[in-house]
Chain A
Amino acid sequence: MSKVFDSIGVSDDLKRFVDHSFDVVDQIHDILDQQSRTQRDLAKMLGKKESEISKWMQGTHNFTIKSIAKIESVLGQSIITTRQKAVKSFTHTKLVPVNVYAKQNMPIIQGKLRTESNWKKNDGDNLFNKGLKSA
């Protein structure tokens, strides 16, 4: 095991830079996968060479906001989101009624929980925990 390697200190900002670059390329890769597309397709859509896109996708590329916006635009999906936007999106998530079955055709949770107010009114947490315990 190398002591020379261990002796190299990396500043927080450089770690964040590499983390962000990997986050962006992994997100792009995921979207391409979802859309059954390849890096070659992305290169065509952006009017770039495939070799250039390949260099972008290696985890140390310094993406500009403009280039991220272009990629988002051709893929039709967001690549990055801020904490504020994420909070807004997820606090408006609707509760979905779920039945948990221990055995086929034997519902543990009998109550119907359709909305957040119903959840509170029907002591949903308790009911959920009870169901979880039984399961």
Chain B
Amino acid sequence: MKRYRINLYKSFKKVNFYTIHEEGKKFSETDEFFLRFKGDQNHVDDIKIIKYWIEKIGNEQGAQERYFRPEKNARAIPIIKSKLRLYCFRVNEQIVILGNGGKKSSQKVKDSPDALPHFTLVNDLAYIFNMKKQKGEIVVKNNEIKGDFSFYIKEPKQL
């Protein structure tokens, strides 16, 4: 069983980006993604585009649904013509929870071992977050999340 916590990652004028952090780990899931790929020569530009896209959404555009790539209950930050995916959960136009990501090497994510665990984790988060919200354990108000920020994942689910 793994225990995670939702933490604020970056705050901008229009959007607060949160991240998920596994207990006992030095870096958040999103930092792990950036640290893993920022030195990868095949994805140097992709990482920079993702960073600037986040800033642009955060400061100017707002997290409008149409800017995100649907990935079951989760979303991905779109990098056209690249196999790199950073998975996230869009709560509303002012809140996005960023996860981790990887290289999608096949048409279906279930056949992409590098991306699948991150896709699964953010989809699990989306499910748990919505359950907690329904139960009133989490309250979303404008660009803030209040309440119980911790959650457990028992084992990877088969999606």
Contact = CB atoms under 8 A, between A and B. Distances in A.
Contact of A5 (B51, B68, B81): B51
Contacts of A4: 27, 31, 34-35
Nearest to A11: B48
Interface residues of B, number: 32
Contact of B81 (A1, A2, A11, A62): A62
Contact of A2 (B30, B66, B79): B30
Q: How large is the interface on A (under 10, 10 to 19, 20 to 34, 35 or more residues)?
A: 20 to 34
Nearest to B60: A22
A10 B50 CA distance: 10
Interface in B17-70: 19, 27-28, 30-31, 34-35, 38, 45, 47-49, 51-54, 56-57, 60-61, 66-69
A18 interface: yes
Interface stretch (A51-59, A64-72, A81-89, A98-106): A51-59
Most central of B31, B52, B69, B81 by chain A CB within 10 Å: B52
Nearest to A21: B80
14 contacts: A1-B9, A2-B31, A4-B27, A4-B34, A5-B30, A9-B48, A14-B48, A14-B52, A55-B80, A57-B66, A58-B66, A58-B67, A58-B68, A59-B56
